[in-house]
Structure 1
Amino acid sequence: MSNEPITLTAGDAEATVLPGNGGRIGGLRVGGTELLRQGERYGCFPMVPWCGRIRDGRFSDGAVVHQMPLNSPPHAIHGTARDAAWRTARVTADEAVITYDLVDPWPYPGRVTQVVALAEDRLTLSMSVETYESSFPAQIGWHPWFNRTLDGTGVEIAFDPAWQEERGDDHLPTGNRVEPKPGPWDDCFGMPDGVDVTLTWPGLLELKVTSREQWAVVYDEQEAAVCVEPQTGPPNGLNTLPRLVTPLEPLEATTTWSWRRP
């Protein structure tokens, strides 16, 4: 199938999936209101096969050191899949399945599958990385850009993490866990019971970002949007907390955005 834009509908919710632009969610409209920042770099893109920054673009797999392109010098950031065209595998009125085959510069063969499922009150994103060849470290995450302001109303962010990853001058976790600090943030937080962050536009909409994963980066340093990024490990996690993809065990993750109106 092609990689043309896909529109999913459920009740008064409508989501646009853009396989040809990095497999991202290009828009999510609820009752006609667009929740995601618009633009070819925005919406919500998948972070795979790693999340956030890799220190100096280098990670080790055993004795072998791999170098990724420094697309955010001096680091490599957010994986390779967001810069690629995905393929559409299956579409119904409220669900799309898209795939991406890992290629250079990523050194291992594998396939990424993303399922986008829309309901009247939620959007569920599921992703898996699988291989039929050698095992390799990987991460899965999502990077949504939620509009800071909806219909003139600014967002409020609420969450209760167990810790905050101390951020070094190089924007990477130092390895120390500290008490969560007040924003603004471009920081990684640990939530051992699962990611649970609530965005509220008072009087308009409450949206919860949840995941069984234990890590989330919260970024709210821009005027236009705020980001809540569930992921399978912290930034630089290919080096510090790798998750292995094996022929017997894919890496899988899911996040759900659920909303309600007053």
Structure 2
Amino acid sequence: MQESRTGQQLTLRHGPHTAVVVELGAALRSYTVGERAVIDGFAAQDRITGGRGQILVPWPNRIRDGRYRWDGQELQLPLTEPTGRNALHGLLRWVSWRVVESSENRAALAVQLWPQPGYPFHLHVLAEYTLGEGGLEVAVTARNLGESAAPYGFGQHPYVMAGTATVDEAVLTVPARTWLRTDERGLPVAAEPVAGTAYDLRAPHAVGARRLDTPFGDLDRDADGRAVVRLAHPSGAFGTDVWLGEGAHYVQLYTGDTLPPGERRRAVAVEPMTCPPDAFRSGTALVSLGPGERHTVRWGITPWGD
């Protein structure tokens, strides 16, 4: 295991599949099949930018003004997105997770989220990565170690690739019946049907000029209970599926238009989420995690084709 700016590098292998998970934030650093890059990750010596591969706990996305009310308390979180005056992407991205298991095709890392200003709750979080015939499977389980119910949400932030120089040529399918219109701060204004809009991606469409930083909900699922977002090469010969299983009720799509110039539109961030942005305030799909209770989310990445 190699030391770097993101701590231990845990390499998982199964046949031609290789994935690397790092100690910092238990983030997914890379995933390849042979010479093919499945995600747009980061190098071992790089600093993580754009949220690449990061786990977003105890909330995904944004909380307006970092302020919310829970069990009669008015709580204030640090504004980690100062330009939008939002609390962004949770509290565990920049902390060291403890490696509890590391084998040829599996890694598990854990961390305690201690009570702190704005989030006076005590959680244990376990992230499990398993590489197999079906690709990479991720399970993240939170357990409430405290004596009162805690607000909880999860997200993760992989940038998916499909062998194109930019995402414009890639073909995207999103099995969602609604999209969330957002304001200039990236916060939801209303849930609207995708039918008749540029956000109707239930059939395959080239990404084209679409600029997405958009939450989707009301996901259609297959017989296994999975909602599958597909990014395919325009030839149709290969691509990458991101499946959302247990606990993942929303997905955010981001085409990277606000990243630094050299990083824009290289990939589509396909972000499984338990709840939409600002759920700590709206309560939409927010988990109330009681004392001793556990909550698990399962999602994964399946590369396919040549």
Q: TM-score, normalised by structure 2?
A: 0.79
**1:7-48 residue CA offsets vs partner (Å, 9 max, x unmatched):** 0000100000001x2110100011122222233225411111
| Counterpart secondary structure, 1:238 | helix
Aligned equivalent of 1:18: 22
Correspondence 1:59-70 to 2 at 5 A:
59-70=68-79
Correspondence 1:105-254 to 2 at 5 A:
105=117, 106-133=119-146, 134-147=148-161, 149-150=163-164, 154-174=169-189, 176-180=190-194, 181-182=197-198, 183-194=210-221, 195-203=227-235, 205-212=238-245, 213-220=248-255, 221=257, 222-240=264-282, 241=284, 242-254=286-298
**1:140-190 residue CA offsets vs partner (Å, 9 max, x unmatched):** 11111224645789422111311111212331111x221324232111111
- Decide which of 30, 35, 38 is 2:38's aligned counterpart: 35
| Counterpart secondary structure, 2:65 | helix
Structure 1 segments, 4+ long, off by >4 Å, are 148-154
Q: Distance in 2 between matches of 1:192 and 1:260?
A: 22
Q: Are residue 56 (structure 1) and residue 65 (structure 2) matched?
A: yes
Q: Distance in 2 between matches of 1:152 and 1:188?
A: 21
Aligned equivalent of 1:97: 108
Supply the AA of the counterpart residue of 1:236: D
| Counterpart secondary structure, 1:217 | strand
Supply the AA of the counterpart residue of 2:254: Y
Aligned equivalent of 2:205: none
Aligned equivalent of 1:256: 300
Greater per-residue strand proportion: 1
2:177–2:220 CA contact under 8 A, matched in 1: no
Q: Distance in 1 between matches of 2:298 and 2:78?
A: 27
Supply the AA of the counterpart residue of 1:257: I
Supply the AA of the counterpart residue of 1:209: V
Gaps spanning 5+ residues in structure 2: where?
A: 43-47, 199-209, 222-226, 258-263
Pick closer, same or farther for the CA change 1:219–1:151 going to 2, 3 Å: closer
Pick closer, same or farther for the CA change 1:53–1:93 going to 2, 3 Å: same
Aligned equivalent of 2:11: 7
Q: Distance in 1 between matches of 2:185 and 2:32?
A: 36
Tell me the number of residue pairs that the alignment of Structure 1 and Structure 2 aligns: 260
Q: TM-score, normalised by structure 1?
A: 0.91
1:138–1:245 CA contact under 8 A, matched in 2: yes
Q: Shift of the alpha carbon at 1:87?
A: 0.7
Aligned equivalent of 2:90: 79
| Deviates further, 111-120 or 97-106 | 97-106
| Counterpart secondary structure, 2:145 | coil
Supply the AA of the counterpart residue of 1:30: V
Q: Distance in 2 between matches of 1:191 and 1:10?
A: 34
Identical positions, percent: 24
Gaps spanning 5+ residues in structure 1: where?
A: none
Q: Aligned Cα RMSD in Å?
A: 2.2
Pick closer, same or farther for the CA change 1:151–1:187 going to 2, 3 Å: closer
